[in-house]
Copies of this chain bind each other. A is one copy, B any other.
Amino acid sequence: MSARLTVWAPDGMGEVRPGDDLATLVGDLLDAEGLTEADVVVVTSKVVSKAEGRVVAADDREQAITDETVRVVATRARPGAAPLRIVENRLGLVMAAAGVDASNTPAGTVLLLPVDPDASARALREALRARFGIDRLGVVVTDTAGRAWRDGLVDIAIGAAGVAVVDDLRGGVDAHGRPLSVTVTAVVDEIAAASELVRGKAAGRPVAVVRGLGRHVPSGWSNDGGARRLVRGGPDDLFREGVAEAYARGHADGVAGLTPRP
């Protein structure tokens, strides 16, 4: 006995244009293999954004980043280039360049993230459930993000529907009867990462299917808050500001004789 997942990404998705019906394009792409109960369909935010018309004219990508920024988290000068800006965007996501994408778009345009990727995931889920006649179906919308402390990028979930966003093991015990120290797994982020391994970045495969997730794709799913739930905010976020920014704020307050206000 073993637990088993299959993950595949079909070739053949054409260029997606504003106003295209994404569910039809994705459904057509998946027709050959079909979908079955408890499958999860993963799509990149890039194609969701394109279908939703989130391509905007922007000679100046930097201005587009500024427009998408809710809060600057950290910046760093880069020789010969615009400063790196890690910011919180309107979705609450902390990302370099606010998630504004200038690759795989025509010159003179940039691609913004979907307005509400969880809603996009729910809509795509409903359309695919109807088309393929299945009950249990998950949809995950991905984007690519950097991390603090680790080099390299991984895909994460910025939208989700029909699939458990987290696996909450709190209260569980191990084989020795001791509490599990690892308690809440970000399942949809792991699904996003797994899908990237077959989609690739340059291969023109924006859609993947993950089969075998079983209990993570429940019957009778109702909106559980979506991938937005994974955004950590408030006092739980110990890294709301870069070191340089927090230090500078503290230093200025100290020079001014202000009481600390971390």
Contact = CB atoms under 8 A, between A and B. Distances in A.
Interface string A229-262: 1111000111111111011111111111100101
Given A5-B197, A103-B178, A149 B185 contact: no
The number of times this chain is found in the oligomer is 2
A153 B186 contact: yes
Interface residues of A, number: 102
Interface of A: 1-12, 15, 33, 74, 76, 86, 93-94, 97, 101-107, 144, 147-156, 165-167, 169, 172, 174-176, 178-187, 189-191, 193-194, 196-205, 210, 212-213, 216, 229-232, 236-244, 246-257, 260, 262
9 contacts: A4-B9, A103-B174, A149-B237, A154-B185, A154-B190, A155-B190, A190-B194, A190-B196, A239-B242
B150 A156 contact: yes
Contacts of A205: 2-3
A186 B151 CA distance: 7
